[in-house]
A = this chain, B = another copy of it.
Amino acid sequence: MTKGDETRDSVLREALAQSSQVGLRGITIGGLADAMEMSKSGLFSHFGSKEGLQSAVMDYAAEAFTQLVIRPALKAPRGEPRIRTLFDRWLGWGGYADYALPGGCIFVSVASEFDDAPEGPVRTKVVQLERDLLDTIETIVRGGITEGQFRESTDPAAFAHDLLAIVLGYNFSARLLRDPAATGRAHDAFDRLLDHIRS
């Protein structure tokens, strides 16, 4: 990895951390340059535009999420263990990297930030990544159906949607309200969701 790629990478790591707290729109070239102790223009030249930076952050986040959440889940046995691993890691993946995401899951933070945004490359990317995430969940569910662990009548898309809703609710309780019961409730909801599709 060349020097340029190296700084680009560490800039993205910092940008991801900041985005998880203030959103993709909240990050600032100047603020990022300060945190990295480099010049605005030097940092800027790696991305060409703020949109380019935002897109790069989302790509970087997707890569990290794949490595820290999805890959470990796919290593677990098909069906319930796999979906449970995904859920557990998802709730806490901000803490699993050598760096941290102080603002929790960025896919949650960013979702409502772009829900009413006009069409544009960043929104398109956000939507696509969220869809990819739902697709992954659906695939795992389908695997569980094939295994016979989950009912034939299970609707994978509905399950994925409901699972995402649980994570959104968890984020609300844990981060906004700082409710200590958040984790327990999320797991309860998850168990109930699983009960419904178990055969």
Contacts and interface: CB of A to CB of B under 8 A. Distances in A.
Given A177-B131, A192-B196, A196-B192, A112 B115 contact: no
A113 B111 CA distance: 10
A184 B124 CA distance: 24
Interface string A88-104: 00000000000000111
Contacts of A157: 181
Nearest to A173: B161
A35 interface: no
Interface residues of A, number: 43
Contact of A172 (B23, B165, B177): B165
Contact of A112 (B25, B171, B192): B171
Highest count of chain B CB atoms <10 Å: which of A25, A104, A158, A176 = A176
Contacts of A168: 165, 168-169, 172
Given A111-B176, A162-B169, A172-B111, A22 B116 contact: yes
A130 to B, nearest CB: 7
A165 B177 contact: no
A115 B165 contact: no
Nearest to A161: B185
B102 A21 contact: no
Interface of A: 20-23, 25-26, 102-104, 108-109, 111-116, 126-127, 130-131, 157-158, 161-162, 164-166, 168-173, 175-177, 181, 185, 188-189, 192, 196
20 contacts: A104-B115, A112-B172, A112-B175, A115-B176, A116-B175, A126-B176, A127-B176, A131-B177, A157-B181, A158-B185, A158-B188, A161-B173, A162-B169, A162-B189, A164-B169, A165-B165, A165-B166, A165-B189, A169-B169, A192-B196
